[in-house]
Structure 1
Amino acid sequence: MADQSFSLTRPALPASTRRGHLSVIVTYLEMAAPPAHEPLRRPPGNLELVRANPPTWSFYRYLYDTVGEPWLWHERRRMPRKELERSILDPLVEVWVLHVDGTPAGFAELDRRMADTDLSYFGLIPDFIGHKLGPWLLDSAIRKAWEGGAKRLTVNTCTFDHPKALPLYQSMGFTPVRHVVREVRDPRIDGVLPRSAGTHIPIVG
C-alpha cells in the first residue's frame, strides 16, 4: 500500500562514495486495478506480440542483452545459466516479444510467481526506439497481466533507464510507492558490459 505522505518526485541522485561504483535511485511503482483508459491504438505496420513459450536461454539473452545494454542491465548477465533457465522456463513467467515485420523489436516479461504480478523487464531494441512502439507495448503488457489474473501489478525503474521511463509508467496508471538509493559496482569495469554501454552514464574508476 502506498504511503500517503510519500513524495512522487524522485529525489536528487547523490554522488557515489566508492570508487568504481555508481549511485542509482530505484523507483518502485504499483497498479492496484486494471487501466480505466481504452487500449492504445495499435501503431501502423506489421506488428505481432507473441509469447515465447518458453524462450530458449540464447534467445532470451539476446533480448535481454540487446535491449538492456544502453541502460546498464547487468543482473542477468551475471546470473548462472541454470539459474536463469529455472526462471524463464517457469510457466508462471511470461516473455512477450514484439515483432515488427518478423524482426524482434522488444519484449515485456511478466512474473506471476509471487502474490503480486511483476513486470520484471520491459524495453525496445535500440533500432526500434523512437518509432512510438513503447507505449503500445507497455499498454499491451499491462492488459495481459490483468487478463491473466493479476491482483496487483508492480514494476520498478531506475536512474540508469531512459528518462521517459518513469513518466511513461505513471501515464499508464502506475503510482510510485518508494524510492531506494543504492550503489552498484559499475558492470563496465568488471567486463560484464562493454565500456561502450550506457553512454549517458560516465565511467568512474
Structure 2
Amino acid sequence: MIADGLHDVPDDRIAAVVTSLQMMARPAPRPEIEGPWRLERLVQPDAEAYRAIYRKIGDEWLWFSRILMADEELLAIIRHPEVEIYALKVGDDVEGLLELDFRVPGEAELGFFGVGSSLVGGGAARWMMNRALELAWNRPINRFWVHTCTLDHPGALAFYIRTGFVPFKRQIEIEPDPRLRGVSMASLGRTPLLAR
C-alpha cells in the first residue's frame, strides 16, 4: 500500500497510473462510419517491421516495452499462434495497430491498440475497435481485457469504457525513462524530461 500524499519520482524514471478494464460478454457494437481504412493481418512479422509500426503508432505515447525486448523475446510473442496482429491501413500506409493475445485459455487481451494522430477523432478507432470485438468474441472466450495508462491518449480510458470495458484495477507503474536510453525521441510523449 502506498501512503497518501505526493511521492517523488526519480529524474530518470517515468510514472503512470495504469487502469485495467475487462468485459465478460460481447457488447453491442457501437455506431461506426465507413472510411478508407482496412485491416490487414500480419502473419509471422519480423521484428523490424513490427517495431516500425509499433513506433509509428506509439512513440507519441511513449510505448516502449516492445522496443526494449530482445528480438527473440519479441518474436516469441508476435509469432505465437495465439497472438494476432493487424495493421490498420489507409491505401498503402499503415495508420494503426491492433494486437489480440489469446494465449490464456478463455481470455483475450487487447495487447496494443492505437491509430495514428491523423486519424484520431475521425472514426477509425471506433471502426477498428468494432473489428477487435468481432475477432475476440468469435473465439471461445469469456473475458476480454485491456489496460491503459495516463501516458496514453487522454481519451483512451473513456473510449474503452464507452466500448463496454469496465475498470477493475488501478496501479502505479514506475519505469526507467526510455528517452534517456535512446529508445524514444526526447521530444515525444506528454511527460516532459526534467532538466538535468
Q: Structure 2 vs 1, CA of residues 24 and 13 (structure 1 numbering), >3 Å: closer, same or farther?
A: farther
Q: What root-mean-square deviation, in Å, do the aligned CA atoms of Structure 1 and Structure 2 show?
A: 1.9
Structure 2 counterpart of 1:132, from 123, 146, 150: 123
2:82 alignment partner in structure 1: 92
For 1:65 and 1:23, locate their aligned partners in 2 and report how far apart those are by CA, in whole Å.
20
Shift >6 Å, 4+ stretches: none
For 2:140 and 2:31, locate their aligned partners in 1 and report how far apart those are by CA, in whole Å.
21
- Look up the SS of the partner of 1:189 in the other structure: helix
- Look up the SS of the partner of 1:18 in the other structure: coil
- Deviation, 1:103, is 1.7
TM-score w.r.t. structure 2 length? Answer: 0.90
Structure 1 counterpart of 2:9, from 5, 12, 17: 17
TM-score w.r.t. structure 1 length? Answer: 0.86
1:145 alignment partner in structure 2: 136
- The answer to whether residue 147 in structure 2 is matched with residue 156 in structure 1 is yes
For 2:180 and 2:61, locate their aligned partners in 1 and report how far apart those are by CA, in whole Å.
15
- The answer to whether residue 140 in structure 2 is matched with residue 119 in structure 1 is no
User: Which structure 2 segments of 5+ residues have no match?
Assistant: none
Within 5 Å, which residues of 2 pair with 1:51-200?
51-115=41-105, 116-198=107-189, 200=190
**Aligned 8 A contact 1:13 1:25 in 2:** no
- Deviation, 1:182, is 2.1
- Deviation, 1:201, is 1.1
* Count of residue correspondences: 191
User: Which structure 1 segments of 5+ residues have no match?
Assistant: 1-11
Tell me the amino acid that sits aligned with residue 68 of structure 1: G
**Aligned 8 A contact 1:16 1:23 in 2:** no
- Deviation, 1:71, is 0.4
For 1:128 and 1:150, locate their aligned partners in 2 and report how far apart those are by CA, in whole Å.
30
